[in-house]
Amino acid sequence: DTGVSQDPRHKITKRGQNVTFRCDPISEHNRLYWYRQTLGQGPEFLTYFQNEAQLEKSRLLSDRFSAERPKGSFSTLEIQRTEQGDSAMYLCASSFQGSGETQYFGPGTRLLVL
């Protein structure tokens, strides 16, 4: 499968625990985006990378959230001290700047904080 992949697909955690999600973009895609989607809503932008540089972060991304893309390939999104309000689907998308910039989404990681 050459599409965007995410791991894990599901995560259940207790309030206060830390969680980390991984996204593997389509190879050669230099841009990688993280979105959050809650039930009945459209995805909301969290942050994006161009190669390894994190170029923009949404105000939604509190200081408990951190994202990295150390080698310009896969990315990780970590949430520290999880809260029940963090329960959502976390979607990753990738695109190639300069080639239409169409964003292709991964299957998402569904997080449930108990």
Partner 1 sequence: GENVEQHPSTLSVQEGDSAVIKCTYSDSASNYFPWYKQELGKRPQLIIDIRSNVGEKKDQRIAVTLNKTAKHFSLHITETQPEDSAVYFCAASITGGGNKLTFGTGTQLKVEL
Q: Which residues bind partner 1 (CB under 8 A)?
A: 4, 31, 33, 35, 40-45, 48, 55-56, 91, 95, 97, 101-108
> Could you give the CA distance from residue 2 to residue 54 in angstroms, rounded to a whole number?
24
CB of 79 to partner 1, least distance (A): 20
Closest CB to partner 1 among 74 and 104?
Answer: 104
> Could you give the CA distance from residue 79 to residue 96 in angstroms, rounded to a whole number?
27
Closest CB to partner 1 among 14 and 101?
Answer: 101
In contact, 76 and 21? CB cutoff 8 Å: yes
Read off φ and ψ for residue 84, nearest 5 degrees. -60, -30
CB of 94 to partner 1, least distance (A): 11
